[in-house]
Structure 1
Amino acid sequence: MAGRPERGHRCVPHTADVRIEAWAPSREECVAEAVTALVDTFADTSGARTFTDREYRPQAGEDDEDLLVSVLDEVIFRMDTAGELPVRTEVADEDGTVVRWRTATTDDVELVGAVPKAVALHELRFGPDGPGWSCAVTFDV
C-alpha cells in the first residue's frame, strides 16, 4: 500500500465475517498490531480505567503464521473465559516469543461490533512485505 504509515492496521470489507490487515517494521510488531486491529473491530477500549498485566508464551518452534494465529486465538480465548481484552500489546523474541498485554475487563469497554469467535485460516497471510511485515486475517463472527 503506497504512502501508508510505518505501522498500522485497517478493517477491510468481507462478506459475513471480519477481515483485518496490519503492518509494522518487524514480525513481532506486526503481531502486536494485528492484536490491536482485532480488538478495534468490536470494542472501544478508550474508557477502560482498570488494567492488569498478563503474559503469554506461544509454543516454541511455531512458524510465522502459526504464531500469529496462536496469539489471536489466545486473545479470543481470554475474552471468552476471563472477560479480558488487551488494550496494549508488546511482542518480543526473548529465548522464544513472549507476548505481554495490558488488559481491561470486558465490563470496562464498550462493544461496538460483532465479537469474533475464531480465527479463520482461509486466506491467512503473514510475512515480510517490503521493508517490514504485514498480515491479513479473517475472523469468524
Structure 2
Amino acid sequence: MKKLALSMMLFLCVLAVAGAAWCGDNGDGTVTVNGRVWLKDAWCLGWGNWGFAMLRPKSLAHGQCGLTDNSKPGDWRLPTVDELKAVYPYKGQFRPARGTLHWSSSAYRGGTTDAWLVSMRDGSVHGQEKKEIHYIWAVRGGQ
C-alpha cells in the first residue's frame, strides 16, 4: 500500500505541469523538484532578515536539518523568486511549507532595499523591505 501511495504521488507530480515538471523525495532530507534539490524541512533554517537569509543556507551541511545527503557547507543557497514559484505546486512534499512567506535571493524592482518573497499559502509573490523577518529555505543545484 505504501509503495502504491508513493508511486501515485510521483505520478501526480509528473503530471502537475503538463508532464514537463517532476518531483521526488530523495529519502535523505531532500526533495528534488525540476532538477533542483530542496531542503525537505522548510522551517529548519528558521527566519531572519534578508541579509541573514542570504548567508544562512551557505552553512547548511550533512547532519543538520535531517540531512543525510553528504552535502557540505557552501553547497546550499537561498532560492530565486522563480525557483520558489516553481516549487509552490509541490509544497505538500515539504515539512511544513504551507502558509508562510519565504525569502528569495531576488531583488525587488532592482532595488537595494527590497527583495521578493513567495507565499506557500497561495503562491503569491510580494516585495518586502530586506529588514523584515521571514522564513529561510535552502536549495542547491542550478542557477
TM surpasses 0.5:
no
Task: Provide TM-score, normalisation by structure 2.
Answer: 0.23
**Larger relative contact order (C-alpha < 8 A, sep ≥ 6)?**
1
Task: Provide TM-score, normalisation by structure 1.
Answer: 0.24
Structure showing greater Rg = 2
